[in-house]
Every structure is written in structure tokens, then in C-alpha cells.
A and B are shown apart, each in its own frame.
Chain A
Amino acid sequence: MKRRTALQASICVVATLTLAACGGGQSTSGGGSAGPVDLTIALSSAPNSLDPSQVAVGPFLNYMDPAYATLLTRKPDGNLGAGLADKWGYVGKKNTKFELRLRKGVKFADGTPLTAADVVNSFKYFQKGSGPAAAWFRPLTFSTPDSSTVVVTSPTPNPDMGTLFTPPYMGGAIVSPAGLKAPKKLASTTFGAGPYVYDAKQSVSGDHYVYVPNKNFYDQDAIHFKKITVRVMPNANSQVQALKSGQIDLMYGTPDVAPTVKGNKAITTLQKPTTWAGLFLLDRDGTVVKGLGDERVRQALNFAVDRSAITKAVYGDYGTPVSQPQMPGYDGYSTAAADMYPYDPAKAKKLLKEAGYAKGLTIPVNYGSFDPSTTKMVQAVQGQLAKVGVKLKLRAATNFGGWINDLLTKKYAATVLSPGTGGEANFYAQQPPFTKTGIMNVFGVADPDVDAAYARLAAAGPKAGAQASVDLTDVIVRKALALPVSGTDTIVMYNSKLRGVKFPEGGAQLTSNTLWTTS
């Protein structure tokens, strides 16, 4: 009897393992030979919300793209493309009025038709939010000449207003009237007019988010997948294993894990410099550190840093030395500015001496130690500046809230924003740190040269815009308003069977995941 029981137990164990082995290791998406019919994307964090007015951007857009169509899109060549609006453009020549004509026959996922009034209501809701892009929308006002036209008015000229209605700014992701009526629900479900809808039944918040086709989407031919799943996988190594075994189709890599897939033909890697890392020299009037009010001191800091060495050491093959707050390939990148500060410690010492700081000076700097690369970078800069007598007194914040609190105390003359800024048109990239009311300009420093250059760029038409953008960069760099060190890459690793995964020209965010297809 006992033997029989033992035998039965053994059979159960073997059966379970067989069952387990049969059920496992099967790719739900990318592993099959026919290519993925489902799309599975891995991200390291869950979204803070599914509400367009709250959600952080960057890779988090993958949670929003399927369900929220935006008024305009960004085409791979960098130009604006149609979305919920199929005609758009400035009214007049002042860059203050922008008109959007809505596509005919568009419905929200719940079947209600999209009207101009819905767009304006959605804009107004977005203005009240605290998402990263909300600040750009707050000054805007809106009108609706007819049921399919929306006119957006900015109090100050904006040469690139259409960008605000593309996915990375989220305000152009229009929320349906049903969603606006129940704003609390917006955090955990979707109310958009995108090609897919969030399926809460198949999803587990914080673990995986499933999107299924929207039968009311205006272009059914543009729905390429039976299902899009975004999985939360905090560990980059686990993501790589899942990518290699076909469990996921795309992940965002890090300099640590990206080399592990080199040579693997089943996986394609894309990389592009998207954010600049370095020091924001906040105290440009010399309130906390008098020396920083002197242009020669700020220039000395720029001469004292060996950007190539630091970039190589910290970011390896996934960074680019930069000495301007913009990176190659983006609007406003200046070749003249790139040569302004070659590594020259002797010149740095000379400038410091001329400014009356031959014995050096101390600069208190706050930064976020929650990003290991930032810590390495700022410590490397600290070491190099010490050689010319400049001491960085570092204050580490272990989380984002701590970093912001430190920043707002105005005790720190410089800061490091992790993971950085950039990847945007120069008009948007330079406003937060360098204009008087910019959110990163915590000391409220007004620089007439910057303001003038910014105003010229804001009012410039399409032809003069490119030069005006470069001129703005030149002013910022000549006056050494920052200490940029490296352009850091966004790395994307994906199943080679996927098509259409691209960084648009001049943009830092991948093309929408709804546009990708399989071979």
C-alpha cells in the first residue's frame, strides 16, 4: 500500500514536471518563425498612471500609444504627420495661432464621435494636470470656429507649436467626454481614440498591461497586432533573457546589458544620443557662489573637463562627448559651439586666476544618486575640476522627490538632472533651464542675451528658424551657462522580425509602437 502511494506520488511529480515543461518556454510573440502577431514590450517601471495628464513620458509612452491617438504624429523623417487632425498650420505669421482640422468620421473607442469641443475640453483637462508636459499647455487658450476646427493661441510666439500635439507631449492625446466625466477612472483605464483599448481583464496592474484592437478606430488597416502587451520587468538582465528566449519583442537597454546581445542576429540594437548629462549651473548671478556670476569662471569649468575620457569611462560605447546642451542630429546643434571648449586645464587655471580665483572655489552641487551613471559622471567631473582648484561639494539625493526638494532650497549652485534633458527641438529644450521663468532656473536668473536669442527663435519663420536655433545654442555656450559633458544614448533592443522601430529624425522617442509591423 505504502509503495503504491509512493509510486502515485512519483507519477504526480513527473506529470507535473512534464506539464510544466510542455507549458513553458513557448514564445507568445517573437519566437515563432512567422514573426510576432502579438507585440510584447518590456519596460523597467509600471506607469505612474494611465491618465495622459499625469503620466511621465519617455518609454512610458508605450503604455499610452496604443489607446490614445494624438492630434498629430511625428513621421520617421522628422516632419509632423496626420493623426486625429489631418490638416494643420499656423494662422498668420506671428507663430502664436495654430489651427487643427479634425479628420472626418473619427470616433472614440466607446463609439462617440470626436468633435472640436471634445478636443478643447481635453486640452483644458490636460492644463490642470501635473504631467511633465502640462507646463507647456498652461498658457494656451482655445477656440472652435466650427465643430471640426480647433484654434490654439499662445500668448508668446512659439515656432514649433505642432510638436505639442504629438505623442511625446501627451496633450494631443484626446480624452473622451466619458473619461473627462470620471477623471479618477483615467488612472487605471483608457478613454482614447487610438487603434487599441486597454483590457483590464487581461492585465495585472504593475505587472503587465494588455491592449486589444479598437473596433471603432478610424483606420482598421493600421491595426497590426492582435494584442499589444507591455510587461513590467525591473531587472534589465531578466529583460535580456526574455528577449533572447522570445518572450518579449522589444526592450530598452542599458550600457551594461547592450553588449550581451552583440552578434545575435535575432536581435537588433538601435542607439541614439537623446539626453545631455552634465551640470546645470543654476547660480549664474553668483547668489550662493559668487564666482559663478563671472563668465570667466564658468568658462574655466568648461575648459577643465575632459569630456571624451569621462564619456568613455562612464557610458562606454553608448555616449557622445558634448559641450553644448544639445546633441548631434537635433535642431539647434552648433558645430561652432562644439569647438569652443577643448580640454585645456592650463587655460582653465588662467581664467580662474584672471577672475580672482587662483586658489579655486567651492561649488555645492545636488544630484540624484538613484541613477548609477549620474553618480559616476558627477564624481568624474568632481575629480577633474579638483585639478584646477574647483571643489564640488556633492549632495546626493536617493530619490527623485529628494532631488527636487534639494533643488528648490536654492542652497545648491549647480545640479545634475537625471537622466538629463534633451532630445527636443531647441525651443523646448532650452526654455526650462535658461529662460527667466523656466522651471529649472530656480534662481530666476535673467540673461538679456539668452532672452533676446530665445525671442528671435520664437518669432522665426520656418526658413530662419534653423539658424536662430543654432544662434541660441551659441549664446548659451559662449556664456558658459552650463557644463555639458556627455550625450547619453537611448538604447533599444528588439526582435529583428519587427519593422518600423525607429528614432525619427531630430527626435528622441521611438516611433509609436502602433506603427510597427512584422516581417
Chain B
Amino acid sequence: MFPIILRRLALSVPLLVIVSAITFLLESFVPGDPARTVLGINATQEQYDALRAAMHLDQPVVVQYWLYLRDAVRGDLGNSLFSGESVLGLIGQRLPVTLALVIGGTVVATVVGVTLGVYSATRGRVSRRVFDVVSLLGSAVPNFWIALVLVAVFAVEFAFFPATGYTPFAESPGQWASGLVLPVISLAIGGVAFISKVTRDAMLTTLGLDHIRTLRASGIRPTSIIWKHALRGCGLPVVTTIGLMMITFIPGTILIENVFTLPGLGTTVVDATNQHDLPVVQGLTITFTVMVIVVNLLVDVLYSLLNPKVRTE
């Protein structure tokens, strides 16, 4: 197991360098001048020249990237052009919100999706058809639309949950949970449809296998066969799906955070892009890449736990 983790981590380093280089290069093609954006039209030429020099914009792109990489290795991702805040500090402040969304969404989607998938696989044809339609709807309806409906009903009409905003856990656990309920549900609904379908199909296949028939013939209770034996057999496709879903949740938070005005990485990336705040965009791109790497690593670890063959390969 340990060599697998080490190998994956070693591979992630060039990946991060490539992603950061591509982002940097692409940003250099974006029309407009960040120094002008920051200073506005009233700035004098001296102010403009000084800011360009401070931002290394007077250097070739390759030099700019090299300086960026050098600082990044030292743990300095630069400062926001607008607020002057450290990009690392900014990410540290907003990461918990996005993680709460992604992890919360994954837990909800997994628990509900697996339960529904198992339920559907063990019921008759009619309920499977109903399940197919509901599942299709769940994956087809965009989550931001679901979010808006949830807000209109549960925040504005009934005032059960806040329409917007985030309260840190340390400040008030109740308000923290309250603020996350609607965003997590909005994010999770598409995942529920996705996981339940995969679980249902995998469960149907597993239930048809010889060893399950043997277990049935041995008189073991059906509930135990399904939840203890068959579900373990569904592990690989379901874990793969959960991994993929988490990866889609990471960019998915951009829309959800914007609808609910949560101070996470998603809202920050939108603001930074609109403001042409390149250091922040660059820092967030790296963060999102790291998150994807971590999810893939977790999937690999789970894979090797579920399937010993992977460990020996």
C-alpha cells in the first residue's frame, strides 16, 4: 500500500508543475493589463510603471513563471492584486467551506444513493422503472436550479434555513449546520442519482453470482446477504463512482457557493477571474488540482483495500 501512495505522490509533482505552467501561460494571453485594472484610469504613469515592476509584468512570461515557481516552492503563492492579502492565507480561510460542501455532499450522496440503489435492485420491475425515471431527472436537472428552488421554498417561504451565508463551526455549530443543509442537498442530488444507478446495476449483477446463490441456499437472512456480502461485491464500481463524483463536486461548488454566497474557493475563483486577479486564480487552480490528486489517491487506497490484487500488482 505504502509504495502505491508514494508513487502516486511522486507523479503528482510534475502534474502540479504542468498545470501551473499551463495556467500561467494561458493567463498571459488574457487581454488586459492587471496593473491597469488595479490602478484604474486616474493613476499616473509613474504609479503604473511602479506597479508593473512590482508585479514583474515588465519581465518575459518565462521569467515571471520561474519567479512564481521559486516563490511557490517556498510556500509563497503571492498576494491578491486587489486586497493585497496573501493567496495562501486566502485559500486557508476559504478551504474549510469548500471542503465542508464537498465532504458533506459526498456523504449525503453516498448514503442516500447506495441505499436507494440497493432498495431498487431488490424490488420489482415497476419500482425499477420509477427509479430509472427519478434517477434520470436527478442527474438531468442542474444543481443550481435545484438550489434556487430549495432557497425559494425552504429559506424564503418557510424560513427553515438561511438563504445565504456561512457561519464557522467554532462560532455556532447550529448555524454552521443550518447554513450547509441546502447547499449540500443541492450539490448531492445529482450524485445521488449517479451512485444509486451504479449501485443498483452492480447489485443486480452481484446478486446473480454463484456465491450469493450458495449463501441463499445456506439459509442466511436476505438482509444480511444484501448488506453484508453483496454490497461488498459492489465495492469497486461504487468506490470508482464516488471518486468521480467527488471530482465533479469540486468544480460544482463554484455554482453552489455563488448561489448561496458561501465564502469558499468557488466564489473566490469567480471574483478573482472577474477582477483579473492572476495570483489568486493561479493559487486556486493549484488548490483544485491538489484536491483532485487527493481524491484520486483516496480512491486508489480504497481500491487496494477492497481488492488485494491491486496491492500485489
Chain A residues with a Cβ under 8 A of chain B = 16-17, 19-26, 31, 45-49, 56, 130-135, 184, 187-188, 204-208, 231-235, 237-238, 241-242, 244-247, 370, 397-405, 407, 439-440
Apart from the given pairs A25-B158, A234-B270, 16 other A-B contacts in the complex at a CB distance below 8 Å: A19-B174, A20-B181, A48-B82, A130-B39, A135-B42, A187-B83, A237-B148, A238-B164, A238-B258, A242-B164, A244-B163, A245-B155, A399-B31, A399-B274, A400-B37, A439-B42
Distance from B49 Cβ to chain A, minimum over Cβ atoms (Å): 12
- Known contacts A187-B84, A188-B85, A242-B164; is-contact A234 B258 (Cβ 8 Å): yes
Compute how far the CA of A463 lies from the CA of B85 in the bound complex, rounded to whole angstroms.
50
A206 touching B261 by the CB < 8 A rule? no
Task: Name which residue of chain B comes closest to A17, CB basis.
Answer: B181
In the assembled complex, the CB of B155 is this many whole angstroms from the nearest CB of chain A, namely 5
B145-200 CB contacts (< 8 Å) to partner A: 148, 151-152, 155-156, 158-167, 172-181
Q: How many A-B contacts if CB must be within 8 Å? A: 182
Q: Could you tell me if A238 and B156 are in contact, using CB atoms closer than 8 angstroms?
A: no
A232 to B148, CA, bound (A): 19
- CB-CB under 8 A from B275, the residues of chain A are 45, 399
Number of residues from B at the complex interface, CB < 8 A: 59
Chain A min CB distance to B271 (Å): 6
Q: Which residues of A contact B37 (CB under 8 A)?
A: 399-401, 404
With a cutoff of 8 Å between Cβ atoms, the chain B residues found around residue A238 in the complex are 151, 163-164, 258-261
Interface string of B80-102 (1 = CB under 8 A from A): 00111100001001000000000
Given contacts A46-B82, A206-B268, A235-B259, contact A20 B274 (CB under 8 A): no
A245 touching B162 by the CB < 8 A rule? yes
Question: Is B32's CB under 8 angstroms from A130's CB?
Answer: no
Contacts of A439 on B, CB cut-off 8 Å? 41-42
Q: Is B83 a contact of A22 with CB atoms below 8 Å?
A: no
A241–B32 touching, CB < 8 Å: no
Q: Tell me if B71 counts as interface (CB < 8 A to partner A).
A: no
Q: In the complex, are the beta carbons of B31 and A402 less than 8 A apart?
A: yes
A222 to chain B, nearest CB (A): 29
**B84:A404 contact, CB within 8 angstroms:** no
A247 B163 Cβ-Cβ under 8 A: yes
Decide: B274 and A370 in contact? CB cutoff 8 A: yes
Chain A residues with Cβ below 8 Å from B176 are 23
> Closest Cβ of chain B: how far from A422's Cβ, in Å?
16
Do A46 and B83 form a contact, CB below 8 Å, given A235-B261, A241-B151? yes
Q: Which residues from A are CB-within-8-Å of B274?
A: 370, 399
CB distance from B180 to the nearest CB of A (A): 8
Q: Are A48 and B174 in contact (CB under 8 A)?
A: no
Nearest CB to that of A244 among chain B residues? B156
Residues of the B chain whose Cβ atoms lie less than 8 Å from the Cβ of A187: 83-84
Complex CA–CA separation, A231 to B167 (angstroms): 13
Q: How far is the CA of A22 from the CA of B260 in the complex (A)?
A: 19
B35 at the interface (CB under 8 A from A): yes
Interface pairs A-B: 5 shortest CB-CB: A402-B32, A23-B174, A24-B178, A401-B37, A207-B263
Known pairs A19-B174, A132-B40; A402 contacts B258 (CB<8 A): no
Flag if B174 contacts A231 (CB, 8 Å): no
Find B163's partner among A16, A245, A399, A403 (CB 8 Å cutoff). A245
Note all chain B residues with C-beta closer than 8 A to A370.
274
> A233–B31 Cα gap in the complex (Å)?
26
Residues on the B chain within 8 Å of A17, using CB:
177, 181
The answer to the question of B43 belonging to the interface, with a C-beta cut-off of 8 Å to chain A, is: yes
Smallest CB gap from B262: residue in A: A207
Interchain CB contact under 8 A, B41 and A206: no
For B158, list chain A residues within 8 Å (CB).
25
> Given A132-B40, A245-B162, A204–B175 Cβ distance below 8 Å?
no
Which one of B38, B42, B172, B270 contacts A23 once the chains associate, using CB atoms below 8 Å? B172
Residue of A nearest to B154 (CB): A25
Q: Which residues of B sit under 8 angstroms from A131, Cβ to Cβ?
A: 40, 42
Residues in A with CB closer than 8 Å to B83 are 46-49, 187-188, 205-206
Q: How far is the CA of A246 from the CA of B260 in the complex (A)?
A: 15
Within 8 A of A (CB), among B5-40: 30-40
Measured between alpha carbons, how far is A231 from B148 in the docked complex, in Å? 20
CA distance A465 to B282 in the complex (A): 53
Q: Which residues of B contact A405 (CB under 8 A)?
A: 31-33, 36
Known: A21-B178, A247-B165. A399 touches B276 (CB 8 A): yes
